[in-house]
Amino acid sequence: MAKIIKFDEDARRAMEKGVNALADTVKVTLGPKGRNVVLQKSFGSPVITNDGVTIAREIELSDPYENMGAQLVKEVATKTNDVAGDGTTTATLLAQAIIREGLKNVAAGANPMILRRGIKAAVEASVAELKSSTKTVETSEEIAQIASISAGDEEIGRLIADAMDKVGKDGVITVEESKTMGTELTVVEGMQFDRGYLSAYMVTNTEKMEAVLENPYILITDKKITNIQEILPILEQIVQAGKSLVIIAEDIEGEALATLVLNKLRGTFNCVAVKAPGFGDRRKEMLRDIAILTGGQVITEELGYDLKEATVDMLGSAGTVKIDKENTIIVNGAGSQEEISERVKQIKSQWEDTTSEFDKEKLQERLAKLTGGVAVINVGAATETEMKDKKLRIEDALNATRAAVEEGLVAGGGVAMLATAKAVSKVAESLAGDAKTGAKIIEKALEEPIRQIAINAGLEGSVIVDKIKSSDKGVGFDALNEKYVNMIEAGIVDPTKVTRSALQNAASVASMLLTTEAAVADEPKTEEPAMNPGMGGMGGMGGMGGMM
């Protein structure tokens, strides 16, 4: 396919138009008085949201060069969301500011490669200053503040703080859609996995259709059990001990399952069979997790164990095991705390080493199951449109909270970023020529978040920026109540990781665009005009239909 190439200023200006189209759409959402954006969907009702990355992902422009610029800034938002989970609007806004000032200087004759060097030095100084002013997150109140600022809703902030209190900082908190109007938190204590009983005849409570076993033995194996003879020796030992049994195996079917059900119905002994969770290697690891949690062993031929030779010492046990049609919950496993801690350390190490988001999520889930449990926030609202928006806000707030727990927090409302301008100014003074100009571009861009928050609140941004610059350290503008306050004391805080990632990603993509000298795009297709299908109706005119 033929290509069209644009060079120099033509290429950069066309891409800048795309950058502005995307950034101008996203930046109206910034701050406590930020507005919403409506996104058309090809099916279903439109989505109304103020989530930067969700808006950015929807934007595609018809002009190929403008679209290139928009896609580059979309990458800023997406990367910031992947790394920190929030701050996508700030990142987009910063990228626009750096590109705007950078292109002015390139047009005036500055060397973009040297500008880039100054931008890099300034960003490093700003990030170092941010880290030095970071405060560690210690209280539940600070977690609530972070979540409230991110979601723009104090109720959501309290809900997330409660969830973190209950499952711990390593715990899994999931967000699900509710069928009711209210938003509520439910916590599943102990280890839960999504496998239920293999036969409904195994239930102990027919009203709730669930089996609840107190202090049962737990047999864990990766084998498929079809012959009752394989587990007969261990069953005899359990009957003698007068205990109930939970069997977690790859599968139990045929004669083995029928015999277990029959003995349950006769009242000989109480037994519930459950399929092992997961698949392949992940299944083996999850069985090991269950074994460590319950103080048992995985009976597997890989370790030279045979089911026929299994003894009661190899079985795990727990305070309570609750099993319904779809889920199994193990509470108060009898495993040693030392072994559980060792296993947690091992999973954390795997989590740090893996690059796959899917694997990270699964490892995080396994961690939570070993350490505390899973909290589920069920999101409810009057309409589906409102519920989708609320769900996005809660997910953002949750990500912001995790980022704050990981790297700490700084003053919010763009104040921490502006406070680093002095450090950037020092770096600029140590540079010369275009490198100095590059650092000055960052110094100016650091004002942009405060300016935009003020504009979205219907105020003059420049006046507020000047007032904050001449105020005491830590003082900023509370746009919701329209007054100047100490941001940390007022609970207006941002995660360091979110602020840092927004600046680093914005500068990275902006630098790449500034150093662009040519842009190559596909030549638009010219469609040939279609023939008029109406001519086919002339068939009745003396056989003239064949003349088409």
Helix (H) or strand (E) holding 419: helix 415-419
Tokens 């930067």, residue? Answer: 52
Confidence (pLDDT) at 529: 62
Taking the CA of residue 167 as centre, how many other CA atoms within 13 Å lie in the half-sphere pointing to its CB?
Answer: 30
Contact 487, 146 (CB under 8 A): no
Displacement of CA 420 from its chain's centroid (Å):
28
Q: Where are the beta strands (DSSP E) in 412-454?
A: none
Q: What tokens does 167 get?
A: 């499952």
Q: Where are the beta strands (DSSP E) in 68-142?
A: none
Taking the CA of residue 249 as centre, how many other CA atoms within 13 Å lie in the half-sphere pointing to its CB?
Answer: 21
Q: What tokens does 207 get?
A: 């009203």
Q: What percent of the chain has pLDDT over 90?
A: 69
Contacts of 206 (CB under 8 A, 6+ apart): none
Confidence (pLDDT) at 168: 79
Q: Where are the beta strands (DSSP E) in 358-420?
A: 373-379, 409-411
Confidence (pLDDT) at 44: 84
Q: Which amino acid, one-letter code, is at 374?
A: V
Q: How many CB atoms lie within 10 A of CB 199?
A: 14
Q: How confident is the model at residue 43 (pLDDT cuts 50, 70, 90)?
A: confident
User: Can you say whether the dihedral through the CA atoms of 116, 122, 124, 127 is positive or negative?
Assistant: negative
366-412 tens-digit pLDDT: 887 887 677 889 999 999 899 999 999 999 999 999 899 999 999 99
Q: Which amino acid, one-letter code, is at 147?
A: A
Q: What tokens does 332 get?
A: 């108060």
Confidence (pLDDT) at 446: 98
484-528 tens-digit pLDDT: 999 999 999 999 999 999 999 999 999 999 999 999 999 887 766
> For strand 251-252 and strand 224-225, is the pairing parallel, antiparallel, or unpaired?
parallel
Confidence (pLDDT) at 218: 96
Question: What are 247's strand-pairing partners?
Answer: 219, 273
Q: Whole-angstrom Cα distance, residue 537 to residue 531?
A: 13
Helix (H) or strand (E) holding 181: none
Contact 299, 313 (CB under 8 A): no
Q: What tokens does 263 get?
A: 């003995």
The candidate with the shortest Cα–Cα distance to 149, out of 503, 490, 532, is 490
Question: What are 477's strand-pairing partners?
Answer: 484
The CA-atom distances, in angstroms, between 432 and each of 118, 191, 423, 435, 543 are 9, 60, 16, 6, 86
The CA-atom distances, in angstroms, between 63 and each of 2, 21, 66, 177 are 16, 12, 5, 38
Q: Whole-angstrom Cα distance, residue 417 to residue 410?
A: 9
Domains of the chain and any CATH numbers: 3-135+410-522 (1.10.560.10), 140-188+372-407 (3.30.260.10), 192-335 (3.50.7.10)
Q: Which amino acid, one-letter code, is at 311?
A: T
Q: How many CB atoms lie within 10 A of CB 463?
A: 12
Confidence (pLDDT) at 362: 87
Contact 152, 396 (CB under 8 A): no
Q: Give the global pTM.
A: 0.76
Number of residues that make up the chain: 548
Q: Whole-angstrom Cα distance, residue 507 to residue 373?
A: 39
pLDDT at 533 over 60: no
Helix (H, G, I), strand (E, B) or coil at 243: coil
Question: What are 212's strand-pairing partners?
Answer: 322
Question: What are 299's strand-pairing partners?
Answer: 221
For residues 535 and 452, the model is more confident at 452
85-130 tens-digit pLDDT: 899 999 999 999 999 999 999 999 999 999 999 999 999 999 999 9
Contact 160, 140 (CB under 8 A): no
The candidate with the shortest Cα–Cα distance to 202, out of 244, 234, 239, is 244
Helix (H) or strand (E) holding 220: strand 217-221
pLDDT at 534 over 60: no
186-239 tens-digit pLDDT: 887 778 888 999 999 999 988 888 899 999 999 999 999 989 999 999 999 998
